């Protein structure tokens, strides 16, 4: 099977990347801290999911840039 994320996680992740792209990297731990700073009242499971998905999106962007 694949990694299936809920639409809330995907939408939130994309919105956070648009909000402040400079805060996020391909490292999960750094993204987790950034998400906690931006969304302090969000639950642990959701923060972890969002941070993981943001890491994945950033890695995809980096891969596309290196291929070009």
What does the pLDDT look like over 4-63, one tens digit per residue? 678 999 999 999 999 999 999 999 999 999 999 999 999 999 999 999 999 999 999 999
Instruction: Read off the CATH number of the domain in which 24 is found.
Output: 1.10.60.20
d(CA 6, CA 47): 13
In a domain, residue 17? The reply is yes
Find where tokens 């700073």 sit. 37
In a domain, residue 57? The reply is yes
d(CA 36, CA 14): 16
Number of domains making up the chain: 1
Q: Is the pTM of this model over 0.95?
A: no
In a domain, residue 2? The reply is no
- Residue 24 belongs to what domain range? 7-67
The alpha carbon torsion through 45, 48, 53, 57 (nearest 10 deg) reads 160
Read off φ and ψ for residue 54, nearest 5 degrees. -65, -40
Find where tokens 């943001």 sit. 54
Contact 22, 30 (CB under 8 A): no
């Amino acid at each position: 099977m694949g990694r299936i994320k809920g639409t809330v996680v995907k939408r939130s992740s994309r919105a956070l990347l648009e909000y402040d792209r400079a805060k996020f990297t391909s490292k999960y731990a750094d993204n987790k801290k950034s998400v906690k700073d931006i969304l302090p009242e969000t639950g642990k499971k959701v923060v972890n999911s969002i941070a993981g998905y943001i890491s994945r999106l950033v890695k995809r962007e980096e891969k596309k840039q290196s291929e070009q």
